[in-house]
């Protein structure tokens, strides 16, 4: 996983300097996001190179929602292969004062610790706000209404349960039209 992340960090700036011609392979898509932060996601292109993506992931007793504004460009000169980068807010909602904060390197015997909000009052810890970034590659299969994406989506929790989310690498399968 570190090798993929390092490859993206090194290659993505060069890919984004490439031409944005033919960047939009579809208008609307939705499907599954498979990885440690799995869930449902949808993407809509608003221009040839700009898109919005919504990702909904379950967390302990709740959900994590990300809305990302993304820029796409052709990658490696291959038709249907896109490089993308984006940024946007996220919100996490859950039903009690505990949020499964397993991104915080606090594994104890393979089990994540549940954290209360900083005040210690479980009633106050039901919402967290932050910012996510996303970068990756997406391939649209020409003969099928399907795209496959591999991405890394680091995030920063700013309010409610401060911390970093660095382990969000996922493979997305998206039906497109």
Domain extents in the chain: 2-176
Percent residues over pLDDT 70 in the chain: 69
Residue 119 clears pLDDT 50, i.e. is over it? no
**139-145: long-range contacts, CB 8 A cutoff, minimum separation 24:** 139/80, 139/81, 139/82, 140/25, 140/26, 140/80, 140/82, 140/176, 141/80, 142/79, 142/80, 145/26, 145/175, 145/176, 145/177
Q: How does residue 140 score in pLDDT terms, banded at 50, 70 and 90?
A: very high
pTM of the model: 0.74
Instruction: Quickly name the fold that domain 2-176 has.
Output: Porin (2.40.160)
The predicted-structure confidence for 32-50, as pLDDT tens digits, reads as follows 999 988 999 999 999 989 9
Quote the CA–CA distance of 58 and 88 in Å, as a whole number: 18
User: Any idea which residue has 């610790």 for tokens?
Assistant: 113
Contact 66, 86 (CB under 8 A): no
């Amino acid at each position: 996983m570190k090798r993929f992340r390092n490859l993206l960090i090194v290659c993505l700036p060069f890919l984004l300097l490439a031409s944005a011609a033919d960047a939009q392979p579809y208008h609307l898509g939705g499907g599954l996001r498979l990885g440690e932060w799995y869930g449902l996601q949808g993407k809509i292109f608003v221009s040839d190179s700009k898109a919005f993506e919504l990702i909904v992931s379950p967390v302990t007793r709740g959900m994590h929602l990300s809305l990302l504004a993304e820029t796409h460009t052709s990658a490696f000169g291959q038709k249907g292969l896109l490089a993308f980068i984006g940024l946007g807010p996220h919100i996490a909602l859950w039903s009690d004062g505990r949020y499964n904060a397993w991104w915080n390197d606090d594994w104890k015997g393979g089990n994540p610790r549940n954290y209360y909000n900083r005040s210690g009052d479980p009633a106050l810890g039901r919402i967290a706000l932050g910012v996510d970034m996303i970068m990756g590659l997406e391939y649209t299969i020409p003969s099928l209404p399907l795209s496959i994406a591999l991405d890394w989506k680091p995030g920063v929790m700013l309010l409610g349960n401060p911390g970093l989310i660095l382990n969000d690498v996922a493979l997305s399968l998206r039906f497109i039209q």
